């Protein structure tokens, strides 16, 4: 298997001033990608799936996403905002989608194109995929949604046997950007497309796409960063009729939304990276084969709970639902984007072998034996003081040569104690020439 | 695994998958081993209330052995028939007991061996070539 080593970019940055070197993020990371070294958390990029759990859970706000500043849009002649529908869930319903979008124009954008409208197109494409015979296309059922980049990366890293199940369709944000560039402004120069993102994972895929070569997105602005300026802009912007997306597109921003939009009942909708792992485990164990579709989202409640959002995920979800209720089912009088954008993947998504101990299996076996032995000798408290998330992970790091046994505070204490005993024993011995009490 | 604690069923399969992943073993082999182990551990919990699951990994093969001190299987060929099940209702209510456990185990390994004595227990040995 062993996939060619590829650079594994991710979009989580550490603020070394804020990081206190605690153990919160190392424990929460679902791929055990973080270690504390020299008092600071450090991410192993080849293991990071960009789920943003560390950003979400860091009690000191020391993790943030690499995203672009709003000032970046100035470099373009035509500035187009492409907001994720999760954006709407961050503001109360008193601020209509029209007002939120008008606020974006007030901030300096020339046009807006809703990702939710593109999500309607992806909904139709996914429905067609589901209607076609799975075997004929080498698409085993159930299909796993590929809309959440963290889930796609999780599959690559921890469930490579499930790669064939991934729906080979480009995500809504990319569809939106391509419509802007290739259909609304074909051949024009100076068009800048800016995605407004609820998560770090979507920042990374614009730089290192999954399933396609190059992204049409020019910049990514974190929802967290634009939240306050947009809030004031909404208050002062003249309201314009800009909202087009219907309910089906809006639904994609929350858990159950994809399945609701498709009307797919033989499906599972799962949110939260831990729950996603549970469902994928079951699928890999041969269960769930009677399902058609798995909508798996790394964040609690879906994209509305993304690590770059500001509102509580469940409050945001309810707000989104209220907006869905007042929207038409689909974008009114659908604009035609002819010819239709090709949604199919054009690049292979390959397994990521970052968890393997050694490319040579025999050497890996020897290391595995060492790990088992070492793990038995460690206290098993998983305290994290060594900087690894568990005693087992430390045992693995020792075998990989990136840690030593005395990194464990209990092991260190044992050694200090032994040394102290030895010292005491040595102290008892007195040179015979000086010791008058000794009977020698 | 013991006491018929169903919440632990699936652990052996997860653990085996984790180790195989660390060894860089290909996805297809991992999938087969995961299914074989999962079906076997579920069977062991349902019918014998628990037992011992072991996996031995060598350079050519994965050998999975599950042994229990359960009621044993009176008629092995019948038990190997697809759709045949003696799972109690309380497990059927959970979606198990479709009679595909043993056939699925055999399908996902290269060598399959089962020994059972009524009143003493059952031992299943599965080999997957690497």
Tens digits of residue pLDDT in A137-194: 678 899 999 999 999 999 999 999 999 999 999 999 999 999 999 999 999 999 999 9
Binning pLDDT at 50, 70 and 90, where does residue A108 land? very high
**How far is the C-alpha of A98 from the C-alpha of A241, rounded, in Å?**
6
A128: exposed, middle or buried (Cβ count in 10 Å: 0-12, 13-18, 19+): exposed
Structural domain harbouring B66: 6-129
Binning pLDDT at 50, 70 and 90, where does residue A438 land? low
Q: Residue A298 in contact with residue A148, Cβ under 8 Å?
A: yes
Q: Which of A160, A161, A361 sits opposite B23 (nearest CB)?
A: A361
Nearest CA in chain A to B14: A281
User: b vs e for B27-47, b when ≥16 Cβ sit within 10 Å of the residue's Cβ?
Assistant: bebbbbbbbbbbbbbbbbbbb
**How far is the C-alpha of A310 from the C-alpha of B33, rounded, in Å?**
43
For each of the domains in chain A, give its residue range(s) and CATH number, in order of start: 12-65 (3.30.70.20), 70-325 (no CATH), 361-428 (1.10.15.40)
Which residues of chain B have a CB within 8 Å of the CB of A281?
A: 10, 13-14, 17
Binning pLDDT at 50, 70 and 90, where does residue A136 land? low
pLDDT digits (tens, 9 = 90+) for A326-370: 999 888 765 778 788 999 999 999 999 889 999 999 999 999 999
Token digits for A342? 């090709």
Q: At residue A144, what are phi and psi to the nearest 5 degrees? A: -105, 125
Which residues of chain A have a CB within 8 Å of the CB of B30?
A: 160-161, 284
Cβ separation of A285 and B27 shorter than 8 Å? no
**Does residue B70 lie within any of the structural domains?**
yes
Residue A432 pLDDT: 79
**Does residue B110 lie within any of the structural domains?**
yes
Token digits for A250? 């809006």
Mean pLDDT of chain A: 93
What CA–CA distances, in Å, run from B124 to B3, B87, B128? Answer: 20, 18, 13
Q: Residue B54 in contact with residue B64, Cβ under 8 Å?
A: yes
**How far is the C-alpha of A72 from the C-alpha of A68, rounded, in Å?**
7
Ranges under pLDDT 50 in chain B:
none
ipTM score assigned to the predicted complex: 0.86
Which residues of chain A have a CB within 8 Å of the CB of B130?
A: 361
Q: Which residues contact B25 (CB under 8 A, 6 or more apart)?
A: A1, A361, B130
User: b vs e for B56-80, b when ≥16 Cβ sit within 10 Å of the residue's Cβ?
Assistant: ebeeebbbbbbbbebbbbeeeeebb
Q: Which of A161, A361, A364 sits opposite B30 (nearest CB)?
A: A161
Cβ separation of B27 and A353 shorter than 8 Å? no
Q: Which of B23, B31, B35 sits opposite A364 (nearest CB)?
A: B23
pLDDT digits (tens, 9 = 90+) for A241-286: 999 999 999 999 999 999 999 999 899 999 999 999 999 999 999 8
Count of domains observed in chain B:
1
A45 lies within 8 A of chain B by CB: no
Pick from A246, A276, A267, A218: nearest CA to A119 = A246
What CA–CA distances, in Å, run from B85 to A287, B76, B77, B101? Answer: 17, 12, 12, 9
Residue B41 pLDDT: 92
Cβ separation of B27 and A281 shorter than 8 Å? no
> What three-state secondary structure class fits A242?
coil
pTM summary value:
0.91
**How far is the C-alpha of A127 from the C-alpha of A125, rounded, in Å?**
5
Q: Which of B17, B21, B104 sits opposite A286 (nearest CB)?
A: B104
Residue A1 pLDDT: 37
Cβ separation of B25 and A1 shorter than 8 Å? yes
**Does residue B1 lie within any of the structural domains?**
no
Which residues of chain A have a CB within 8 Å of the CB of B25?
A: 1, 361
Q: What is the DSSP letter of A107?
A: T
Token digits for A282? 């079951």
What CA–CA distances, in Å, run from A165 to A88, A133, A350, B72, B122? Answer: 31, 13, 13, 38, 35
**How far is the C-alpha of A118 from the C-alpha of A250, rounded, in Å?**
10
Q: What is the CATH number of the domain that holds B37?
A: 3.30.565.10
Cβ separation of A284 and B34 shorter than 8 Å? yes
**How far is the C-alpha of B41 from the C-alpha of A242, rounded, in Å?**
57
Cβ separation of B25 and A361 shorter than 8 Å? yes
**How far is the C-alpha of B25 from the C-alpha of B125, rounded, in Å?**
20
Q: Which of B27, B35, B39 sits opposite A351 (nearest CB)?
A: B27
Token digits for B85? 């099940």
Residue A3 pLDDT: 39
Chain B: closest CA distance from residue A369 (Å):
10
Q: Residue A38 in contact with residue A59, Cβ under 8 Å?
A: no
């Amino acid at each position: 298997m062993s996939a060619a080593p590829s650079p594994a970019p991710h979009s989580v940055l550490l603020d070394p001033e804020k990081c206190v070197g605690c153990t919160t993020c190392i424990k929460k990371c679902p791929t055990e990608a973080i270690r504390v070294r020299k008092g600071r958390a450090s991410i192993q990029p080849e293991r990071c799936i960009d789920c943003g759990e560390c950003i979400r859970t860091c009690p000191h706000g020391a993790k943030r996403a690499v995203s672009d500043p709003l000032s970046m849009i100035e470099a373009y002649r035509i500035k187009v905002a492409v907001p994720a529908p999760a954006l709407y869930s961050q503001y109360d319903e008193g601020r209509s989608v029209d007002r939120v979008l008008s606020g974006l124009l007030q901030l300096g954008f020339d046009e807006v194109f809703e990702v939710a409208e593109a999500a309607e197109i992806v909904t139709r494409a996914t429905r067609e995929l589901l209607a076609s015979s799975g075997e004929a296309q080498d698409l085993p059922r159930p299909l796993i949604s590929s809309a959440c980049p963290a889930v796609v990366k999780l599959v690559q890293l921890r469930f490579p046997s499930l790669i064939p199940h991934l729906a080979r369709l480009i995500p809504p944000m990319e569809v939106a950007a391509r419509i802007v560039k290739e259909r609304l402004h074909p051949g024009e120069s100076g068009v800048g497309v800016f995605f407004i993102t609820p998560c770090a994972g979507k920042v990374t895929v614009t730089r290192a796409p999954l399933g396609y070569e190059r992204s049409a997105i020019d910049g990514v602005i974190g929802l967290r960063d634009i939240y306050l300026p947009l809030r004031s802009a909404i208050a002062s912007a003249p309201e314009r009729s800009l909202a087009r997306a219907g309910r089906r597109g809006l639904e994609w921003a929350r858990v159950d939304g994809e399945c609701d939009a498709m009307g797919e009942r033989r499906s599972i909708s799962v949110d939260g990276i831990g729950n996603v792992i549970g469902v994928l485990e079951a699928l890999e164990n041969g269960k769930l084969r009677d399902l058609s579709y798995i909508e798996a989202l790394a964040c609690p409640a879906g994209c509305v709970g993304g690590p770059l959002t500001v509102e509580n995920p469940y409050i945001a979800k309810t707000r989104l639902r209220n907006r869905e209720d007042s929207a038409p089912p689909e974008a009114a009088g659908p604009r035609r984007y002819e010819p239709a954008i090709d949604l199919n993947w054009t690049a292979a998504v390959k397994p990521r072998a970052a968890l393997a101990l050694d490319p040579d299996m025999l050497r890996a076996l020897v290391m595995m034996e060492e790990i088992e032995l070492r793990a038995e000798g460690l206290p098993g408290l998983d305290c994290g003081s060594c900087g690894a998330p568990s005693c087992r992970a430390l045992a693995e790091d020792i075998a990989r040569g990136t840690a030593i046994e005395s990194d464990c505070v209990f092991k260190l204490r044992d050694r200090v104690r032994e040394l102290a005993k030895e010292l005491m024993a040595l102290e008892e011995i007195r040179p015979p020439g000086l010791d008058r009490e000794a009977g020698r | 695994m013991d006491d018929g604690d169903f919440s632990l069923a699936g652990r052996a399969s997860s653990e085996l998958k984790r180790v195989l992943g660390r060894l860089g073993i290909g996805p297809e082999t991992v999938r087969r081993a995961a299914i074989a182990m999962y079906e076997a551990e579920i069977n062991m919990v349902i019918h014998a209330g628990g037992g011992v699951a072991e996996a031995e990994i060598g350079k050519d093969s994965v050998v999975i052995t599950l042994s229990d001190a359960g009621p044993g299987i009176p008629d092995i060929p019948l038990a190997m028939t697809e759709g045949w099940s003696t799972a109690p209702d309380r497990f059927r209510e959970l979606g198990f007991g479709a009679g595909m456990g043993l056939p699925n185990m055999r399908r996902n390994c290269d060598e399959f061996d089962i020994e059972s004595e009524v009143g003493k227990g059952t031992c299943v040995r599965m080999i997957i070539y690497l």
